[in-house]
């Protein structure tokens, strides 16, 4: 019989550029904090799910990265599983930890994600993104982008991840279908930069206006640099536990997991948003949790670009299709609005250390549900949702993970 599952503790390093840190040291810092937060000793961990997407390409650690990174903690004898699911690696690791505890295989499981992306060779780092779509048929990507966003002159826009071209094409398709505007995308970005000012762990903490975002260097219409996530180092971790363990921990500190759904895409017309991977995964998550989108108090979603947040907010039903841009302009998704999204600053400002990102979202939402988010606190937050996407296959993300949490 499956059992209820809880997040007992979370830990996160500052996200940013960590020249003097390693994947191992970042991992250790996040895990140590999560254990302290939970009040659980290392010896009680039954299993570990370690997420990393780039160390093999950047440092040559092609195998057993988790065993290597966690060795310094003295974590001996427990099973360690290495998880790679592109930008959704961290949320995927968490889902596996949740499954382990729910199935009764573990009483306490650890999910941790870590990336060291700033290795002194920016050109090398940018190449890792080229491995997040089908490398056997690169022409297929070009055909897909052309079908989505038409032919656009991208000369002179500077160095960027290939995924910025992907998001730009998807944004142009959405603009054509729903009439969303570049200014609405800038409103999403400005909102997230404003939120990050109050987050001491964020990569960037500079308040930007809509006009500031629009005036910044273009990265292929309609995107500008502040609308896009930076190259970030960092780690985040979560301790998952059973009901029995939760009952003996500090009252009010654990957060219940209502649903954790991992989805991969289906073959669809790119304009059929009802069958988008995130829409399908969201519906499954809401059904498992026994709630509706209107019940969500606060959300952290995958805004690798501002358009990512706009689209995901619609696909999950937090706002109606075509209403993501107007909602951002009207302040509906800001702190104090009806459904605050990315109170942490999101990937655009908090940063995007790929495999740590999904667990960084959980760090923020646990703080919100405990009432510990300080100036970012959402009043009365009780239900929280995280959406973490990764890779690109067939005109959409290759994987999407939706996690729903409930506070006490």
**pLDDT tens column, 193-222:** 999 999 999 999 999 999 999 999 998 899
Percent of the chain with pLDDT strictly greater than 70: 96
Cα gap 273→315, rounded to integer Å = 7
First-to-final CA distance of the chain: 24
Contact in structure between 91 and 401 (CB atoms under 8 Å) = yes
Residue 93 in any domain: the answer is: yes
Residue 256: pLDDT band (50, 70, 90) is very high
1 pLDDT tier (thresholds 50, 70, 90) = low
Return the number of other C-beta atoms located less than 10 Å from residue 139's C-beta. 7
Catalytic annotation present for 87:
yes
* pLDDT value of position 408: 82
Q: What is the CATH number of the domain that holds 116?
A: 3.40.47.10
Residue 286 belongs to a domain:
no
Domain membership of residue 355 (yes or no) is: no
For the record, the structure tokens of 164 come out as: 């910025």
pLDDT given at position 158: 62
pTM given for the model: 0.96
Q: Which residue has the tokens 């759904």?
A: 261
Residue 162: per-residue pLDDT: 74
pLDDT tens digits along 78-131: 999 999 999 999 999 999 999 999 999 999 999 999 999 999 999 999 999 888
Q: Which of 6, 193, 352, 363 is catalytic?
A: 352
For the stretch 159-185, pLDDT in tens is: 667 778 889 999 999 999 999 999 999
- 102 cis-preceded (ω within 30 degrees of 0): no
User: What pLDDT does residue 149 have?
Assistant: 65
Rounding to the nearest 10 degrees, give the CA dihedral for residues 140, 145, 146, 149: 170
CA-closest candidate to residue 6, choices 149, 83, 106: 106
- With respect to residue 45, please indicate whether it lies within any of the assigned structural domains: yes
* Residue span of the structural domain in which 56 resides: 5-120+231-248
* The CA-based dihedral angle spanning residues 47, 13, 116, 157, taken in that order and rounded to the nearest 10 degrees: 130
Q: Which residues of 176-196 are buried (b: 16+ CB within 10 A; e: fewer)?
A: eebebebebbbbbbbbbbbbb
Among residues 6, 18, 87, 276, which one is catalytic? 87
Q: What is the pLDDT of residues 310-361, one digit of tens each?
A: 999 999 999 999 999 999 999 999 999 999 999 999 999 999 999 999 999 9
Domain-located, residue 73:
yes
Q: Based on the structure, what is the number of domains in the chain?
A: 1
Let me know if residue 318 belongs to a domain. no
Picking from 225, 238, 251, the residue whose alpha carbon sits closest to that of residue 360 is: 238
Residue 211 lies in a domain: no
254 is a domain residue: no
Residue 364: closest CA among 215, 261, 266, 255: 255
């Amino acid at each position: 019989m499956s059992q209820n599952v809880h997040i007992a503790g979370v830990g996160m390093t500052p996200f940013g550029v960590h020249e003097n840190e390693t994947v191992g040291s970042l991992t250790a810092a996040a895990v140590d904090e999560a254990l302290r937060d939970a009040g659980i000793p290392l010896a009680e961990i039954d299993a570990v799910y370690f997420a990393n997407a780039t160390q093999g390409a950047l440092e040559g650690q092609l195998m057993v990265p988790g065993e290597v990174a966690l060795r310094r903690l003295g974590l001996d004898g427990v099973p360690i599983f290495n998880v790679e699911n592109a930008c959704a690696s961290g949320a995927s690791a968490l889902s596996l930890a949740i499954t382990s505890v729910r199935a009764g295989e573990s009483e306490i499981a650890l999910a941790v994600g870590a990336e060291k992306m700033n290795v002194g060779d920016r050109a090398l780092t940018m190449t890792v993104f080229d491995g997040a779509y089908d490398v056997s048929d690169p022409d297929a990507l070009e055909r897909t982008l052309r079908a989505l966003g038409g032919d656009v002159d991208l000369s002179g826009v500077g160095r960027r991840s290939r995924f910025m071209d992907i998001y730009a094409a998807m944004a142009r398709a959405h603009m054509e279908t729903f009439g969303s505007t570049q200014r609405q995308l800038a409103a999403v970005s400005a909102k997230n930069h404003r939120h990050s000012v109050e987050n001491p762990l964020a990569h960037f903490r500079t308040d930007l206006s809509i006009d500031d975002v629009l005036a910044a260097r273009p990265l292929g219409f309609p995107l500008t640099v502040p609308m896009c996530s930076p190259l970030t180092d960092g780690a985040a971790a979560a301790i998952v536990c059973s009901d029995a363990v939760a009952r003996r921990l500090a009252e009010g500190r654990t957060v219940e997991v209502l649903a954790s759904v991992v989805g991969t895409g289906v073959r669809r017309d790119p304009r059929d948003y009802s069958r988008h991977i995130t829409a399908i995964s969201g519906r499954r998550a809401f059904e498992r949790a026994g709630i509706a989108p209107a019940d969500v108090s606060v959300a952290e979603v995958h805004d690798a670009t501002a358009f990512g947040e706009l689209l995901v907010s619609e696909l999950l039903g937090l706002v109606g299709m075509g209403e993501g841009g107007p909602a951002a302009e009207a302040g509906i998704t800001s702190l104090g609005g009806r459904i605050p999204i990315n109170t942490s600053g999101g990937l655009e400002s908090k940063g995007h250390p790929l495999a740590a990102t999904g667990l960084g979202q959980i760090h923020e939402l646990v703080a919100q549900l405990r009432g510990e988010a300080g100036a970012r606190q959402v009043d009365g937050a009780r239900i929280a949702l995280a959406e973490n996407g990764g890779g690109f296959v067939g005109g959409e993300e290759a994987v999407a993970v939706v996690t729903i949490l409930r506070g006490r």
